[in-house]
Structure 1
């Protein structure tokens, strides 16, 4: 298959999420994308990729959250002499626009401000293209862009034009599509949401998670730790039907006659796509058959702002209280108060293993589990994620959001098997016995490590 070359201009955020998002959106629309060979520097603002059709570039620009624009790629070079030589060699790409096409031409730079007089010089240096159409700066038929990339000089005291012309690379191409998905970041801004909590996920990350699920019309997606619904809204906005559950129904309900999640969903016009919300412990779930969902997306609580819980007691009751417990279970309480089952902490490493096994049971073949896993930067190893896997589940993306001494990894796991499996037992004793002989992941006891400042405990 022959690929045309396209220049992607990225937003400077979440560098490690770029490649997984490109692959996910390409998979969603059913096309292949050819990435640069060798090690990819994901923190650079420009990337040249291969696509079989221009419509694929438009699909990427309309769905990828991290894309600002996509251009048909004409040439690049470390000097303008080199760029012009390559652009002349590719004139078959642009000669069709020479005669009667109105156009706009602009020059810009990353990490630098180009003086206006040199911008004019750069534009004039492309005069050999001999475009005869009208210059139209408002509604041109085509837009030509030239981009200079400079090394970052943050923290240095300098004149705004220092080092002008000393760029790493210059790129040139024709605009295909502006990135229209970026506006969704402001649309889903948590500060503007009618219902949110102290653990609500920021909008840009929740949108990236939604793209990892391949959310689209006809898909059924589940969040087992729904909370205030941060992942549900963008997933539903992209057309999927959403089901949510949480052990604490108060997080989903909030105050008021209408549950908070439904109020926020109505704000985005997607309340009809929130199928239902149920309160239950995921380790004591009501699912009686598997293969239900196209994706599971969630941000499990890991104890910094809110800790994960599961049904059970930290300590066994003494005989007297045990007898009182059974009396209240079998007979109405004197004060007519409902029975509230006790909960105990749900250790993160156990939760992660359980979540993968639950996903294998509930996902359709080819379905995806997308979730965040907090990690200690100095202790993390690749095996930490691999050790969570079970037969039939494969990691296809693992992107770090770095906070310094710790970070959180957006992990995407694909169900590769078509076999049927029994529901997971969530047996803590089995997990504890296995952990004594297997790898101990760095995210175990993450809450305690976080509040110790990631320092070794005092001896």
Structure 2
């Protein structure tokens, strides 16, 4: 058995590397334990998350299983035995921890797997590597289908090709790792389950499955928790948070997105597809800036993807400004037999974000979480852009970016750190740059910048 508090090799999916650590910490916090990053300084961690393997410390083996069953970006977790830049180093290190694997020598069925990252390994190479561990003297049966233990060897190469274009040799790896399989990552199968292409109801702004699941994990969705999406649209985040046991309330200024055209609302139909329709408490049509909530502290988390204008712009109730020399249009008296559709005006993204943080402070329970995507212009983004949106009683927990070249979208997680009661926001956020002393954040006027191709100020002159 693995001793209490030991190191594990985390094998990650090769996607969204900046999201790995926030997801690990979020799920660990949900289950009441910590993940140890002792091997890495803050500077080393920046580079470590870009690599396929990390060695992290856990107090209990069961913690590894909890992470592997919930974290979307984990492929597998191995109890760490040894590593080295050569097999000589690795074998010497492995012999020093004989007490950790000698219990499997007498009568334990086993198998070896040898995997190369950034480099394909031939069958001969794999066989030679396995035979180099012959000193372990395992006496059990080799069982490829259902062994009692699986021993994994991982070779990490910088690239499969040298600068001159020739293929790397098999032994030119950067680092090799060795350990025993503790848990396979089962959560990644949910990506296929929630695939938008297979969904009964979706729209052109529906969030892709992997990101919806990552967002749900950032909220620490679990049974008994109450989530709210104020820009629910077609409900992508509702399904994943509900799947993890949370109850969900949703609203949107445009009820057509929630309803669809069938008699049963589209979100309810899709939720039924995933077996979570009973987790959707209600769906209501209203402008979040004119919300009906008459008390705060209702929700454990607010999860949303605010519309930022690439495919659909944010709106709020009200009329656009009219020229001073032109009288406002006359509004005819509404026909009582026709539904009244109130006028709307654009909701500028930086104002929306500032209002959203204040709204979350009002509506979240103490230690509740606000999780949302924020698009930013890559060239002008600075950390202060997000920090400036915070208010008293709210702290930044995580900020991970998904790059798209000239712009990226950041998954922001903010926690309510206070138990004090605050009044509801007025939703009259002034222009963030009106004072003239503060820089305009990289998400301000994002829609206009996007359609202008993110031109530099010098290019516009």
Per the normalisation by structure 1, the TM-score is 0.95
Question: Are 1:190 and 2:196 counterparts?
Answer: yes
Q: Distance in 1 between matches of 2:120 and 2:159?
A: 12
CA distance in 2, matches of 1:444, 1:432: 9
Q: Distance in 1 between matches of 2:63 and 2:453?
A: 46
Partner Cα separation in structure 1 for residue 34 and residue 436 of structure 2 = 43
Which of 246, 249, 255 in structure 2 is aligned with 1:243? Answer: 249
C-alpha RMSD of the superposition: 1.8
Matches of 1:450 and 1:189, distance apart in 2: 27
> Which is worse superposed, 284-293 or 34-43?
34-43
The 3 A distance-change label for structure 1 pair 238 and 425 is same
- Identify unmatched segments of 5+ residues in structure 1: none
Deviates more, 1:350-359 or 1:28-37: 28-37
* Corresponding residue number in structure 2 for 1:23: 25
Q: Which residue of 2 aligns with 1:409?
A: 410
Q: For 1:369 and 1:274, how far apart are their aligned partners in 2?
A: 19
- What residue in structure 2 maps to residue 227 of structure 1? 233
Q: Does 1:37 align with 2:40?
A: yes
- Indicate the SS of the match to 1:166: coil
- The secondary structure found in structure 2 opposite 1:266 is helix
Partner of 1:218: 224
Correspondence for 1:140: 147
Cα shift readout 1:37-79 (whole Å, capped 9, x = no counterpart):
2121211000000000000000010000000000000000000
Q: Secondary structure at the match of 1:231?
A: helix
Q: Is the 8 A contact 2:4 2:60 kept in 1?
A: no
Cα displacement string for residues 231-273 of structure 1 (whole angstroms, at most 9, x for unaligned residues)? 1101000000000000000011111000000010000000000
Q: Which residue of 2 aligns with 1:363?
A: 364
Q: State the Cα deviation string for residues 383-442 of structure 1 (Å, max 9, x = none).
A: 0000000000000100000011100000000100110000000114x4468654434211
Distance 1:320 1:124 in 2: 84
Aligned equivalents of 1:9, 1:211: Cα separation in 2: 19
Matches of 2:288 and 2:363 in 1, distance apart? Answer: 12
Other structure's SS at 1:243 match: strand
Partner of 1:11: 13
- CA shift, 1:116, in A, is 1.3
Count of matched residue pairs: 450
How far did 1:456 drift? 2.9
Separation of aligned partners in 2, 1:438 and 1:432: 7
Question: What displacement does 1:338 show?
Answer: 1.8
Name the TM-score, length of structure 2 as normaliser. 0.94
Match of 1:113?
A: 120
In the alignment, is the contact (CA less than 8 A) between 2:375 and 2:407 conserved in 1? yes
Distance across 2 between alignment mates of 1:357 and 1:136: 58
Deviation at 1:153, TM superposition (A): 3.9
2:361 aligned with 1:373: no
Cα distance in 2 between the residues matched to 1:215 and 1:320: 47
Distance 1:347 1:230 in 2: 23
- 1:66 aligns with 73
CA distance in 2, matches of 1:227, 1:163: 51
Q: Paired residue for 1:166, among 165, 172, 188? A: 172
In structure 2, the gaps of 5 or more residues are none
- Shift, 1:156, TM fit: 7.5
Matched, 1:80 2:87: yes
Q: Is 1:256–2:262 an aligned residue pair?
A: yes
Matches within 5 A, 1:374-389: 374-389=375-390
